[in-house]
Amino acid sequence: MAHDIVFFLAPDDETAAATRLQGPGEDFESVTCRFIAPDSAIAEWDLYFEEPSAEVPSRERLYGWSWPAWVAAPLNDGVEVFALPQRLTRALANASSAELEELAGRWIMRLRSEDGDDMTDDDLLAVLQGVARLAASAVSTRGGLYSWSY
């Protein structure tokens, strides 16, 4: 589980990968959160839009799903940068408020069942809404949506 996660916009994979050492910083439009696993969150969001359901997916279903690709793989320091899949970026950009609320509820249920009291204190609906706003911007500018985590 990552301590700090930043979802951010970048024009391309190379620019996103260059954030690996210092993080995206203020040069990139972003949404931050703490204490989640960004790769499983991204996979869960993608699964939701491909197979909508308020039910939490089984571990087998989630872990068997297509996971995000690294643009900067982790080294000994644990820092990694993922590219969100284009289809997920488009789905988030076009998501209704009701879809985001249902997805957030499902995501919270899964995290609570896995992490219990150690679950993040972040407002996960607000995080998801912020990422959806970034996705809309990525679609309109033909940029990419990424996550940086440590």
pLDDT (tens digit, 9 = 90+) per residue, 94-142? 999 999 999 999 999 999 998 777 788 899 999 999 999 999 999 999 9
* Percent of the chain clearing pLDDT 90 (strictly above): 89
Instruction: Give the pLDDT confidence score for residue 51 in this predicted structure.
Output: 93
Whole-model pTM: value is: 0.94
Residues 6+ apart with CB under 8 A from 149: 2, 3, 4, 5, 6, 38, 79, 80, 81, 82
Cα 48 to Cα 102: distance, rounded to the nearest angstrom: 9
Statement: residue 42 has pLDDT above 80: yes
Amino acid at 66: S
Cα 71 to Cα 135: distance, rounded to the nearest angstrom: 18
Of the candidates 2, 3, 4, 9, the one whose C-alpha atom is nearest the C-alpha of residue 83 is 9
